[in-house]
Each structure stands twice: as structure tokens, then as C-alpha cells.
Structure 1
């Protein structure tokens, strides 16, 4: 496993000690400039007193007090110039230390310093508000991660564990604090960092075993790459879905068996009583033949039911090749020539698919749409149209029937609203679409005309990872 780190670039400014010592502090330079401005006046006064040969009293009580007053004024100006800068330095230092409660007194007079201190105060308030929002967001995220059923585990760039939620700790039958700082290798997780796409596999951990959905990703914290693993236990969900599937299957099979076996049992008992009667009725042979015909029909119906169920369980993986949607629909229209079909003219689209399976899907949908038109007593044709979308290709089969009665049971195995229907057409079509990486959506028309639209979404090209999985499955 390769480890990489992002170097942090630091920009530095070098100042030579000699030049640093030669510069006066800002306050001394301010005072020096003020004294330099007062120096011409003091020199002029001194020269005047010297030329006029003024007495020492003029020097003592005139020139010297003015010189001292100049020094005092320069000192006062120095302090007043340095005070706002010290205030700004304290404010900036507080911001650097992430103390956003400190505020500077800007005063009431509008000036450049007033505007600068006001802006720094506003910056501190914005940073304080942003920090509170970030802290609240972090607390919310921590709460959400802690409540997740999936194991969320974070590692630093050295693959050392830095964060784990309670579900992750339960996975290893340990406390979170005891797992922090442990390397991924000691936990048996080092191979999972390559799972950039979700992988479902059987795994055993110290605290749990079963089927897990595993996915790895990366993120950055303070500019340094971190690693994240999410392990979702699918065992309980799969067991619940499996139990519900068995319950639905047993209910449907039991219903179908009862529909066939009950009349068969009644007819066999009637035929047995008929044969035991002496003398037999004159038309007993016609009654026996009628009873045997019903038994034969119910047995054939039961055989068709089992064949339909076997068809659902024997759908092979699609053998993809480049297919033209225009040619495919033209071929399907020829196969269902008894149906009235209106094919809209759209630009041709080539996509990768198993043409035989897609034909079966379209035949089922077209027949359903045609039967819906007949049931509604309309003369409208089945409309077929397609277009390229962001998800791939959208293919729509539109009818002029009465619409969907109950969309909740459309894909329930062997559920049908048609007399003589098998209830497997839509379910088989959905399996074909999902095997191609697409899906089917049925909904009522929204253009004010009664009817239903069957929308099939299929990818135009197959991702490389899916191709590898298909090839691996074929090799097996």
C-alpha cells in the first residue's frame, strides 16, 4: 500500500539582523520627525537670540521652555499615534488566537482609523458567527454519524485510526477509545482502501459476521489527505427481504395451487361417485369427459404457471453488443404486427444491450399497451418514442387506456388485472432493464388524455467496471 503526503509550502521573508537593528521603532520615528519639524524654529530662535546678544534670562525663560514644550508635544503625539496601533495589534492577536469576543473602541469621529477598527470589529463578529455555525454543524454531523447503523471509520494519511462511530466499534467488539490510534493493518482493513466503488461481500469481524457493503473514499483535513471507510451490514435487511419474498411467493403459489387443486379435487370426487352408481346414468360418459376436460385445463394452467415462474429465475446475464434503437423497434413492430403501433420519428441512438432481451421487454410492454387500448374501447395506437437524456436513453411506450389502477402491485410476481394474464410480464421486463443498468417507471399520462406511459431508462454505454464483472461472470 503506497502512502503519499502533500507537502505544505511556507512563504517566509528573511530580514538581516544588521538592517533590523538599524531601524528605529515606529514610535521613535514619529517622535524624531516631530522634533525634526520643530528644529528649524528652535535654530532660528537660537540664532536670533545669539545675534541680538540677548541676556541669559531670555534663554532661560524663553528658548529653553519652548524647546522643552516641543519635546513634550512630540512625546504626546508619539503616544497618540502608537495607541491605536497597539489596539489594532491586540485585536489582530486576539483573532489569531481565535478569541473573537474582543472589540476595539473606534470612537465617534469618522476617520481612517475609525473605519479600520470598525472593519476589524465586523470581521471578528463574522468569524465568531462562522465558528458557532461550524461548531453546530460539527456537533450535528457527529450526532448523525453516531446514530448511523453503518460503521464509519476514518484514518489519517498514515492509515492510523482517528475516528470510529459506535456501530464501527461494535463491529470489532471494543470501545471506541480503545481502537483509536490503531493501524488499519491490525484491524484487517488494509485491503478495503482500494474499494472506490461499493463492494458487497461476506466478511467476519470480531463482533459481527455477514454480508457487508464496503466503500472507501478520501477527504482532506487541514490540507492533509484522510481516508474514510463505510461498512454497511446488509445481513438483517437481506434476511427481512428474503423472508418477505418467501411469504409473497408462498402466498401466490398457494393461491394458484388452490385455484387448480380445489376444482380438481371436487371433480375427481364427483367422477368417483358417478362411477360407483349402479346403474349409471345414460349420459355418464359425457359428464366424465367434461370433468376430465376441466381437470386437463386446470393442470395445463398450473403447468403454465410453473413455466412462468421458471422463466423469472432463469434470466441469463445480458450479452451486450452495439444496437440501433430504430432497427430494434422496427423489428419488434414486425413481431407484433397485430398491434396498431405509431413509431415517432427521432434521431437514431446506438447503445450497448442484449437485443434479444430488450426485444422481449418491448414486446411485453407493447402487448400490455395494446390490451389497455382494447379494454378501454379506444381506436388509438400504441405510441413509441425515444430520446437521449443525461441518464442515457429514455424509451416510452404510450397507450390510450384508462390508466393505472394501482401502481403499488404492478411489479408484484403473478399479480395481474387481466383475465388469463400470467402476472410476470412487467416483473420480467424490470429484471431485464435492471440487468442492463436501467429501470422501468410506469405512470399515468399528464397531458389530459387518459392512458399510461411505460418509461424505460437504459444506459447508452456500459461502465468499464460492469464490463469486467460481466466478463468475470461469463468466465466462471
Structure 2
């Protein structure tokens, strides 16, 4: 039986197939009646009486066949589909209500009764406005999706997301409303915001502690280091004049210089610099950075590629600090490619922000430090202090921006700096001073340092 119904369902999906099946049944029934009529009604009959008998017999033969072959299977299919739809709606996890143009609730599912705290019969006696008081007055003009406060039967309010769609029915235009309780979602969002605030507060506390530590380090270590370095330099000169070996003193001086760099990095991280904010083209800061790194790119056989718009993109900030940020990211990328590779820098404008991407194809960021990338003293470099990226992030945040770092799917690392655009236009950029060769349209160009092509 199920196989027969399935086969009939396949046939009856097409109106032309139904029409063909009905015509075939009527033709077969008419042929059967015409063949059987002389045996059933022998003798001479009038044409009128014969036509009446023929019609009655045709009806008696075809009606049961039509019921068994077409109408019965279609009825069973319709009942099955209706029951399936009712089962899906009744057991749906989200609250589903239907209501008429006046707002009267016509039906509901089990989730709706649980959400609003009332049984189905009582719920269908209510209006949609009694459950969602702030729903727009013009039901005919309801948006397809909106967010507002709903109300349970006991008067308790809760945030809800309501999706409304329309479907035709015998009683007129009926609407379906899917109501989602956002209480847990909003609670989770508040928890996330609180965690972010606590993390930020902890980081600010760490910064304050680090600033105090840096002040003590500067007073207790930097000045004695300077004195020691000067004494070693004097003795190196004296020993050299007397023909004595100075290799050990030179090594000591190098280590003292390295200690000075660590102390200075610590001070730079903990002590905010005096900023001079003004509007400038981001391309100008990037151009000056390229001039500083192109020599090292040549030395390491690193290809420098850039994708920079011709039109100036202006931001408000301290150009020297932004240049320092670019330089730190570029030097980190070069450190990751000691045997050559490709350094890609791109600038793109997105609505009210500008995004600068710095990508390399080195070994990428170690998974053990990826989640603590901007944490002070976290580094994988031999002899590194672990404060460079922290300084970069501090500069980005001081400019109301955001700095992120991830590993690329194709290998290497990618850092993105997002900065807000300046609110007023400034002078055009000097982007045409890039050492470059044009390879694209007027909107953008791909720039390659000529020294990389040699």
C-alpha cells in the first residue's frame, strides 16, 4: 500500500498527469458501458432513454474508480501532510502563533504555551497585543523581523525577537509570528561584556604596576649601566693603546647595550608618550616606513608588495606613532623571514574605517602564544623582550583603533590595524612618491620596490 501511494503521489504531482489519468478512466468507463449496454438493456430503446442509461452507468462505474485511484490517495496524502505539519509546529522549539488582521490569536504550539505561561485554550482567547504590548498598531504594516519586550500572562516582561510572515487562508489574511525569548542570550552578552571589562580593568592594573616598576628600574638600573658602560669604553681605549686584548670588554659593552635596550623598551611600554594629533594621510606614514625597511628587504631577499589606493585616506592621530607601529609590524615580519619571502602591505577603506594589513609568509605565530600575543613579556624571539606588540596595541587604542594578529591559512602571519577615518578632509597624500610601478586601474595600484626586482 505505501508503495502504491508513493507511485500515485509521483504521478499526481503534475496537473497534466491528473488530467490524462481522468480522461483515460472516463474513456475506459465509456467503452465498458457501451459494450455492456446491449447485454444489459436488450431490445429497441429510444435515444433519450439510452443516453440516460449510458450516463447513469458511466457515473456508477467511473465514480468509485476515480475515488480509489485519484481522490482517495490525494485525500490520504493531504491528511498525512497536514498531520506532519501540525506535528512539526507542535513540537518546534520556538513559540509559534497565528493571528488574524485584528490581532486575535487563532492557534499556537506547545512552546508558545510554555513561554507565555498559559494553556492553549486560554491563549487563543487573547489578542497578540496582550502578549506583545509594544507591537506596532498597524498590523498590516508589521516588519518581517523586529525586537521588543513581550509579556507573560503573570505580567513578567522579557526581551523577544519576533519574526512575522503572512499566508493566505479561507478566513482572510493570516499572519504567523515566531517569538524567541532573548533572556538567556542577553544574559550571556552581559556576561561577555562584564568579562571583557574585568579583563580590561586587570590589564589597566597591570599597566599601572608596570609603570611603577619601570620608574624604579629606570632609577636603579639605567644610571649605573651608563656609568659602567662609560668606564668600559675608557678602559677599552686604554687597553687598545697599550696593545692588550679588548675582546672581553667589547662583549661586556655589547651586553650592557642590550640591557639598556630592554630597559628602554620597558619604559616606552609603560610611559605614555606626548601625542600631537592632527589629520594626515595614512599613505604618508606608510611611505616613510618603506624607506626605512627597503634596505633590509634587499639584504634578506624579501619581496615587498603593496596594494595602496591612489586617493589619500586621512586619519586623525600622531603620524610619528603610527609610523612606529608600522615599523614594528614590518620588522617583526622581516624577522619571521630570515631566508627570504614576501612581505605584503595593503590599505583598504571600509565605511568609516581604514584597515591596514601586514602579511608575511614566514613560519607564523606559535600556537602557544597566539592567545597572549599582546601580553607583556610574551615572546618567542631569542633575546626578545616581548613588549613591541604591546606598544603597537597601545598606540592603536590611543588612536581609537584596533590591532589584531592571526595565522594565515596559506602560511605566515597577518596583522590588521583598523583606524577611524578623519572627520574632515585634509591635503592630498604624497602617495605618488612611492618607488613603484603601476599595475592596476586608477582606484588602486600594486606597488613593488624596484630594488626587489634587481
TM-score (ref. length: structure 2):
0.47
The structure having more radius of gyration, on CA atoms, is: 1
Which structure has more relative contact order (CA 8 Å, sep 6+)? It is: 2
TM-score (ref. length: structure 1):
0.45
Q: Please state which structure has a larger fraction of its residues in strand.
A: 2
